[in-house]
Structure 1
Amino acid sequence: MLIPLANDPRDYAWGSTSLLAALEGRQASGRPEAEVWFGDHPGDPAETPDGRTLDRWIAEEGPAVGIDGPLPYLLKLLAAASPLSIQAHPSKSQAEAGFAREEAAGVARDAAERTYRDANHKPELIVALSETFRALAGLRDPAATRRLLAALGPGASPLAERLAETDAPLSAIVGWLLADGADAAGGVIDAALTAESDEFSAELELARTLHAVYPGDPGIVVALLMNLITLRRGEGLFVPAGMLHAYLEGLGVELMAASDNVLRGGLTPKHVDAAELVSVLDPSPGLPPVIRSRDVAPGVRRYDVPVADFALLAVSPTADGVEVALSGTSIAVATAGAPEVSGTTSSAGARLLPGGAVLVTPDEGGVRVTGEGELFIALPGR
């Protein structure tokens, strides 16, 4: 079966007022449109044509078509006009322990101070749909950060001294900035507002932009410890457990494990638990690799990620169309043109305009894609 899916954009403040509307070829609403969720996550499940939410549809109809439980992933379209919070996600074992701890303490699952809202990890992949997509990801090599701080002058001295302590992991420095380093952060921010550096001009400009939105937030200084990355259209960034990151600007397809566990590290009015964030952070510095798709069949490309929760395919049909073998429950979303998608078993079909999506049940075994355009298919990983 092919089941059309729809959902309303989530109106987070950082969302773009134009990117999703432009993708879908419709009039902009004038409100921030940040994310469209295509999945069965109870936080905002997609809707099926008969009005049922996807989680209810799967519970009631899934067993008959080979779906044996909730989806292990959540597929989104994400449109950022301003930075998301700096954040990291726990590993599976960390999530299980944290969830059990907060459950035992009686913290309501929707409480503002709640950290672990489920017992799952949340690795994620973002693939750029806009010509560029900017993000902060991972902690920068300390030698480069020392050069940045030197450009800031005396105002950055307390942080520079901390960074010079070779036995202090970067994660501990992040925790200090968020919990006890307000004065030191203020000095760095003040210096960054007027400093100049050929090597770090983009990072300093970002700091000034962040200060305009979150004046004095220690997260601005945390951002200066991170790698500033620009993805080109079609390039991806994989965020494993423990990697500090923040999406800054652009339109993308996002695929993640089905979880809502977020530990924040600044640039947000929401709850920040510095100690818990540090406990899950990977302190290893380095530039995360940009993930480029590889051809697996004519017109079909795959983004390789090291998790079993999900896989992502990009399909641009050839003149004769393409057959795409699928295992498990899949979701396809169109991002260009008007591709026609039909099941390989039932021959049920759907024409997808950009932003349109369908659920492909396991009993189909795959899809045939014809016409012109582009679509992304999320499915369980191997």
Structure 2
Amino acid sequence: MRKLDTIIRDYHWGSRTALAELRGAPSPSPAPEAELWVGAHPDDPSRLRDCGVPLDRYLAANPAGLLGPGSLAAFGPRLPFLLKVLAVDAPLSLQVHPDREQAATGYAERGYRDDRAKPEVLVALTEFATLAGFRAPAATAALLDGLAVPGLAPVRAAVAAGEVGEALRLALTGTTGGLVAEVAAAAARAPALAHVAELAEVYPGDPGVVAALLLDAVVLRPGQAVYVGPGVPHAHLRGVGVELMVNSDNVLRAGLTTKEVDVPAVLSVVDTRCGPAAVLAGEVDGPLRTYPTPDPEFRLHEARPGAVLPGGGPQLLLCVNGSVVVRRGGDEVVLAAGESAFLPHDEDAAQLAGEGRAFWAAVNLGA
């Protein structure tokens, strides 16, 4: 087992307190801190604390021994998942991720960042607000009727006809700044749409504000999770959560951002059948709470002292409060809040002790 130094990514939507306080660092931080990365993505790999070697380079030196035969055969000589903590103080972009086939084609032909899909599951550490998946058409039609904004008539007609993809296309390509302002004014009078009014304040004139009317608004309680599969449109709004995903940074943005937007690409991969994203309570088995997802690359668990972490395949462990002790064989690693460790492939189980709480990421080869 190897203790890791993790990476902090600074984006404008991040928090100046959440990740600093998680790590016991001075708070507020000098700049917004948005994401804590634990993993081996080549853009920002964690490093082995005792020697500074990047985790991706460490794995490349002995993929069979460190990843194990099952993970190596299924996913190649790389860590298949990436673990993060998100600290969201301002809305993220409206975005979607391609599936495996779309990602491979997009990487070869359209310059996508990775050749892999990016399904993900996020567990709330605090109350966490997000837009994820399409609201039921009848509910969306009623919501649009209540706003009473004439310029939304084409979008409303598409929704009523069950053509959610066409409604999204109209929202993203047929929306003017004036219509966004009308929507913002109407949303400000509707308490259930306070998030839409906020989006319009942050991104005035952005068509993503209108597209947000089509999405399901979810507020997760601590311990609840949301699963975002390929093609599911989403935009995180606020809160702190632990997120596990395929080891990919494939993001296609539709709006609500100052970064590059590619509406045609978004429309080509969005899953208009997806409905609201799945909210998970987790399956409790003693000190383990598991958040099941259909992806073979990853499985996320909340782990408390007394948990037994079965061996087999690569694993990551991140402590989120207090401290935990991880023991396997004759090895022992102590993690304080904000610290993490890589557990290489081993058939022996690890035991968790201490007085804290951690999140455990492993492969899900039975999926």
State TM-score, norm by structure 2.
Answer: 0.92
Q: Does 1:34 align with 2:34?
A: yes
CA displacement, residues 209-252 of structure 1 (integer Å, 9 cap, x when unaligned): 11111111000111111011001111110101110001111111
In structure 1, stretches of 5+ residues that fail to align are 103-113
State the shift of 1:306 in Å. 0.8
Aligned length, in residue pairs: 356
In structure 2, stretches of 5+ residues that fail to align are none
Matched with 2:165 is 171
Q: How does 1:232-381 map to 2 (within 5 A)?
A: 232-284=221-273, 286-296=275-285, 298-317=286-305, 321-343=306-328, 345=329, 347-363=330-346, 365-381=348-364
Matched with 1:58 is 59
Matched with 1:18 is 17
**Cα–Cα, structure 1 residues 196 and 159, in superposed 2: closer, same or farther, change >3 Å?**
farther
The CA distance in 1 between the partners of 2:25 and 2:198, in whole Å, is: 30
Q: Does 1:92 align with 2:100?
A: yes
Contact 1:20 1:33 in 2 (8 A): yes
Q: How does 1:124-203 map to 2 (within 5 A)?
A: 124-130=120-126, 132-163=127-158, 166=161, 169-179=163-173, 181-183=174-176, 186-195=178-187, 201-203=191-193
The CA distance in 2 between the partners of 1:78 and 1:135, in whole Å, is: 12
Q: How does 1:192-231 map to 2 (within 5 A)?
A: 192-195=184-187, 201-203=191-193, 205-231=194-220
Contact 1:152 1:188 in 2 (8 A): no
Greater Cα shift, 76-85 or 185-194:
185-194
Matched with 2:118 is 122
**Cα–Cα, structure 1 residues 252 and 195, in superposed 2: closer, same or farther, change >3 Å?**
closer
Give the secondary structure class of the aligned counterpart of 1:295.
Answer: strand
Give the secondary structure class of the aligned counterpart of 2:364.
Answer: coil
**Cα–Cα, structure 1 residues 365 and 18, in superposed 2: closer, same or farther, change >3 Å?**
same
Percent identity for Structure 1 against Structure 2? 38
CA displacement, residues 63-106 of structure 1 (integer Å, 9 cap, x when unaligned): 4445542111101111110111011111101111111213xxxx
Contact 2:282 2:289 in 1 (8 A): yes
Contact 1:140 1:285 in 2 (8 A): no
Supply the AA of the counterpart residue of 1:74. Answer: L
**Cα–Cα, structure 1 residues 164 and 174, in superposed 2: closer, same or farther, change >3 Å?**
closer
Matched with 1:7 is 6
Contact 2:138 2:160 in 1 (8 A): no
The CA distance in 1 between the partners of 2:267 and 2:148, in whole Å, is: 28
CA displacement, residues 162-187 of structure 1 (integer Å, 9 cap, x when unaligned): 435616x21222123223x123x632
Supply the AA of the counterpart residue of 1:266. Answer: G
Contact 1:35 1:79 in 2 (8 A): yes
State the shift of 1:139 in Å. 1.0
Contact 1:151 1:195 in 2 (8 A): no
The two structures, once aligned, show a CA RMSD in angstroms of: 1.9
Supply the AA of the counterpart residue of 1:377. Answer: W
State TM-score, norm by structure 1.
Answer: 0.88
Contact 1:141 1:285 in 2 (8 A): no
The CA distance in 2 between the partners of 1:358 and 1:196, in whole Å, is: 46
Greater Cα shift, 55-64 or 35-44:
55-64
Give the secondary structure class of the aligned counterpart of 1:243.
Answer: coil
The CA distance in 2 between the partners of 1:134 and 1:99, in whole Å, is: 31
